[in-house]
Structure 1
């Protein structure tokens, strides 16, 4: 079973790769928001950040963001002047884990009494208290971000992306009796360890907008969620415990789903794991015991199904079956789990997700040891590339957002970017944030240098060595985009021989396994694992020297003198209100710029540079390669700005005076 999980992408290396990637993305979001003075903390929780998923499980990305502008009070002494203050209320009429939030004034520690002067999404309680509504908060989020598209509301989540769950919450910094009671209850046990309990003592909890379905105040209630403590517990799992949890989720999604639908959730499985680890001797948690340990987990689930309640591991008085698993479903599950235990887990052979059942049956029988290792290594490397690709996409989108906000505010672009760069440098002194800060610094520095170089060319100042040397620091933002900007600068400044040398270097790097990355457009299938597996299989070396990704090349209007003239038309699209209204938010991020995929731009610059040098044979060869690339059947996977690439190719044929082909490509564009 353990080997089958390794083959399915749930081995230790892949789990740690996932975990590291999402923690990196969390730090990247934190710096990105603070650079924009957005006083919100963001956290990646759930399967992706834990690493406890496989491709077949298709786990969503869970993101929680908590505002730092609101102070949650547990007692009146917690009040802070100038903050949005909300007092937690709980009595015997409110279910465990649920709280009401009373609106408190900013300038004095007294409740709001005038309803009209309070927050938009507040409601008046029968007692006269003004409550901050959870449902009102979700409606506010939906209205505020409507420009992103149609929202999907699922429990406390309000999301505008299909595979994301985004929760807007408030953090509680003060000690809570629920958490302190749990810490006291766990002392003296082998798990959780003492260090974890000490960390849990100071870890914030969150209030998420979700009420209890049987409560009189279900639309106003907020649920206490100890996400960071649960993360600490998950990060304390060893590899066998993580694999046992993954198998439970596979059983849940494949076998239990056929019996009772999706009423059992990953959180139910996680809670079962907490109780199993707490009650099992540490010396048993080794991979050769995995099937036995899975059996113990199912026995604990059977016990709670018989009792009709699954207690929350941390917060007392909460039954996780309430509102999720009906009595009928509990009885049906109990019969199935009981039979599964009696049959010695035989049903795991019927897990279809990731072919787990088949893998378990054939392990040790049909597998060739070396071939098995190669397949496993290929899947691990493919997943690593997919995670890197997703991270670069997210980073590029965040950078695009920076520029869009600056451009929309009509402020000085170069001055504002230098301001962001200054703050990014300050973050680089933080050991935890250092690696992320340097990525921001490289991209922002590259943009500043390009803008300054454009100004020099506009003023007809000859590009000097110092100007070109400044580009070196940011050349490794990716394989191609910064180098192509340098080549474009050199061409625009008349340094054709130097431009050709840079383009030759880019051509060597941009082999056929390099994948384009765009921060504003998505193509169906561009994140399928076979795409990355093909990149791996085409690599005869032990690995890639550099990550095989090339960002799209983007020129802002302040860089106009660094780019070929044809791209100036891309910066001047129709901008009537009617036309702008038809664009999505992500289209607006780049519509005022010229953006092109790296490979077509490489071929276009080669055509121009060789033409400028009078090397006609090389110029014709570059055009032939460009034309062949654009007519490649598989190009749609790799090209995000097809219309711009077609315009460039059409312009080449226009310069060749081949007007029939010119018209054909312009019409295609």
Structure 2
């Protein structure tokens, strides 16, 4: 089979089909990119709303669309601190800012620089060391240590494991690893890459237009020095990651598939034995060099195996010479210090074996079942493997929804312990700033504003109403106006807030109408719960949810997701009496067992579906509709028992226990509270309920 005429063309086409089946096609690549760029926009705008001077970027395989579920690529997040002005020439110095001059001389490793501290009131250097993050060298220059930005990144991630310039959240089962890098931005293109702008290979790639765009992105400096350098603590690596992302966004699908296959080969044959020898970035760099030095018609679907062989051959030569030149700064050898004398012959042997196999080695790759899928395609079996595009689409939309939840939480955490007046002023400030950003921004940033705004409208309406319930036990017109603007967030959570408010003032008729509307729109075969309060392993998403996500982008959030319902202390009057206990879940001893991101434990938070059935139970109890009440109670029990993706199952059990108490089923109530405690031993209101229940029984 591997010697037949036309084998290369046929196998290349079958391999392309396989990669399409696992989500490496134009549509899914674009969907991945849109998702991560949207989350990048959300992170930056959320930071601006909180008056922090920074920007977020998601770089690497996830945002490029050059990954698969089986590759389990890390999330590469870059946090840029904008209060610094990094310059390469004195003309770029700006008064009033913290200015640093990039030093790129013979004492600095290629691809790196030093940062000299300049005065903020005049374009001249400082001559005194201001703090422990600066160092005065032998020539009198005051240089910024790269440990400064590492300390900031470590604080952002809450510790973590350091990998080069990044701090990583690693090893949590069911979650993708996150690498967070702190960086400073320089507006101008790096001097060491100026020559690249004038070079042009036989492939006429990148185009002049692409190069002009790349040069407009400037560069970052990240806090890591060259390995073995005598200035390792003072050197900063120059990163052209935005320009590299531009190049990746301009690759065709065959080139992206070639890169994905290189990473699969790396994961299967190199990484298990030589973990830190060859990186994905080296493979990307090799791909760039190959594209620049071949004609565009070389990169065809029916030539995929030849394209892959070329890239592997160039990679082989890089290992052989122990030199992989950075694509834009060729003086920077990416392989320096990575290929040990002992491992080199074995790595070369593996690469020779792969190159000489003419594609047969791909049958050994288990990642995404690539080998088995490829074999089935080659022998034309009718058996079809499961296509993953809808599953990928579902996970992407869920990630977007969770990211919305995270950013809204980050903003409203500021008002957790604020008064009504302070909370209202802060929320109005967020809304006004969001409106200003919307007027000034373009495209994806406008989408971000549209996604975030209803949550602030809803929160503001809820706080205003909580105040009115306290003062007048009535719903105000202002509150209803704001709430109406926020009812489109998702299927249930915003409307449940409205229903909860109406229930709290005793308006059972309107409460029932709202609850009936929620239940009618909550399709149990489609709608997925969304909770980002804490990390829990999400079970496989519903097939109906995935199917809708495959055909839509972020707009599907409005009718396929149900966020958890959150009440801050300043909204306590809008929460049912039974749910308010959740705000007092922690004893003094429990506080010591809270994590860095457990601010939600000062709130009352419950998943939408259990709260829907709980409010139905309470409403029907008030109106004396016994059968409907029992039906709602049965639905609450079933949801707690069967729904796989509840984020606050212990809270739902606490509500169920109080329903059981109302039913005079004290033993069942106690069982609910005990199961709840078994799920969350600390910071759980079940302790309060058990003490109260036992006290009443005694």
Whether these two folds match at TM > 0.5 is yes
Question: After superposition, where does 1:362-381 map in structure 2 within 5 Å?
Answer: 362-363=376-377, 365=379, 367-368=381-382, 375-376=386-387, 379-381=388-390
Query: Could you tell me which residue of structure 2 aligns to residue 172 of structure 1?
Result: 186
The alpha-carbon deviation at position 157 of structure 1 amounts to: 0.4
Pair 640,90 (structure 1): closer, same or farther in 2 beyond 3 Å = same
Q: Which residue matches 1:654?
A: 661
Q: Residues 129 and 37 (structure 1 numbering): CA distance in 2 closer, same or farther, change over 3 Å?
A: same
Q: Give the whole-Å Cα distance in 2 for the aligned partners of 1:28 and 1:560.
A: 28
The match for 1:128 is 140
Report the counterpart of residue 151 of structure 1 in structure 2: 160
- Give 3-state SS (helix, strand or coil) of 2:57's partner: strand
Which aligned pairs between 1:280-429 and structure 2 lie closer than 5 A? 280-363=294-377, 365=379, 367-368=381-382, 375-376=386-387, 379-407=388-416, 412-429=422-439
CA distance in 1, matches of 2:46, 2:601: 22
CA distance in 2, matches of 1:293, 1:508: 53
- CA offsets, 1:383-442, max 9 Å, x none? 111111112112211211111123357770111101101111122222221110011111
Match 2:531 to one of 510, 513, 518: 518
| Equivalence for 1:220 | 234
CA distance in 2, matches of 1:346, 1:39: 52
Which has the higher mean CA deviation after the structures are superposed, 20-29 or 258-267? 258-267
Secondary structure in 1 matching 2:468? helix
Report the equivalent of 1:110. 124
* Equivalent residue, structure 2, for 1:507: 519
Residues 596, 644 of structure 1: 8 Å contact kept: yes
Q: Does the 8 Å contact 1:259/1:333 carry over to 2?
A: no
Identify if the C-alpha distance between structure 1 residues 409 and 159 changes in structure 2 by more than 3 Å, giving closer, same or farther.
Answer: farther
Match of 2:681 in 1: none
SS in 1 for 2:472: coil
| 1:362 shift after superposition | 0.8
8 Å CA contact 2:189–2:219 kept in 1: the answer is no
What is the distance in 2 between the residues matched to 1:257 and 1:158? Answer: 21
- Contact residue 4 and residue 359 of structure 1 kept, 8 A: yes
Residue of structure 1 in register with 2:488 after alignment: 476
Q: 1: distance between equivalents of 2:659 and 2:571? A: 22
1:139 aligns with 2:145: no
| Secondary structure of 1:168's aligned partner | strand
Q: Is the 8 A contact 1:253 1:262 kept in 2?
A: no
Give the 5 Å matches for 1:536-615: 536=546, 547-574=559-586, 576=588, 579-588=590-599, 590-615=600-625
CA 1:431–1:109 in 2, change beyond 3 Å: closer, same or farther?
closer
Q: TM-score, normalization: structure 1?
A: 0.92
> Secondary structure of 1:43's partner?
strand
Residue 532 and residue 216 in structure 1: after superposition, are their counterparts in 2 closer, same or farther (change >3 A)?
farther
Partner deviation per Cα, 1:283-331 (whole Å, 9 max, x = no partner): 1222121112111212222333333322111102121210222244333
Tell me, in whole angstroms, the C-alpha distance in 1 between the residues paired with 2:637 and 2:202: 71
1:445 to 440, 446, 457: 457
Deviation at 1:29, TM superposition (A): 0.8
Whether 2:507 is the aligned partner of 1:495: answer yes
Q: Deviations over 1:226-251 (max 9, x none)?
A: 11110111011011111111011111
Q: Is 1:94 the counterpart of 2:118 in the alignment?
A: no
| Equivalent residues in 2 for 1:30-45, closer than 5 Å | 30-45=44-59
Unaligned runs of 5+ in 2: 1-14, 172-176, 677-698
Q: Distance in 1 between matches of 2:254 and 2:668?
A: 61
Q: Is there any run of 5+ residues in structure 1 with no aligned partner, and where?
A: none
Residues in 1 aligned to 2:37 and 2:548: alpha-carbon distance in whole angstroms = 30
What is the root-mean-square deviation in Å for CA atoms of aligned residues?
A: 2.5
State the match for 2:693 in structure 1: none
Checking the alignment, whether the CA contact within 8 Å between 1:119 and 1:132 is kept in structure 2 is: no
Aligned match of 2:70: 56
* Equivalence for 2:6: none
For 2:340 and 2:324, the matched residues in 1 are separated by: 12
Count how many residue pairs are aligned between Structure 1 and Structure 2. 651
CA distance in 2, matches of 1:260, 1:580: 44
Distance 1:7 1:595 in 2: 40
Q: Which moved more, 1:18-27 or 1:421-430?
A: 421-430
Partner of 1:641: 648
Cα distance change, pair 327–417 in 1 and its aligned pair in 2 (3 A)? same
SS in 2 for 1:383: helix
Whether the 8 Å contact between 2:610 and 2:652 is mirrored in structure 1 is yes
The separation in 1 between residues aligned to 2:54 and 2:258, in whole angstroms, is 35
Any conservation in 2 of the 1:149–1:584 contact (CA below 8 Å)? no
Residue of structure 2 in register with 1:7 after alignment: 21
Does the CA contact (< 8 Å) of 2:88 and 2:101 recur in 1? yes
- Quick check: 2:103–2:113 contact (8 Å CA) kept in 1? yes
> Which deviates more from structure 2 when the two are superposed, residues 169-178 or residues 460-469?
460-469
Cα offset, 1:535, TM superposition: 5.0
Which residue in the other structure is 2:9 paired with? Answer: none
Contact 1:453 1:463 in 2 (8 A): yes
1:305–1:461 distance in 2 versus 1, CA, 3 Å: closer
Give 1:501 shift: 2.0
State the alpha-carbon separation in 1 of the partners of residues 200 and 57 from structure 2.
26
Shift of 1:467: 5.2
* 1:101 match: secondary structure: strand
1:606-664 per-residue CA deviation (whole Å, 9 max, x = no partner) reads 001111111111111211221233233xx4x3221122111111111111122221222
TM-superposition CA deviations, 1:11-52 (whole Å, max 9, x none): 222211111100000111111000011111111100000010
2-side partners of 1:506 and 1:358: how far apart?
Answer: 45
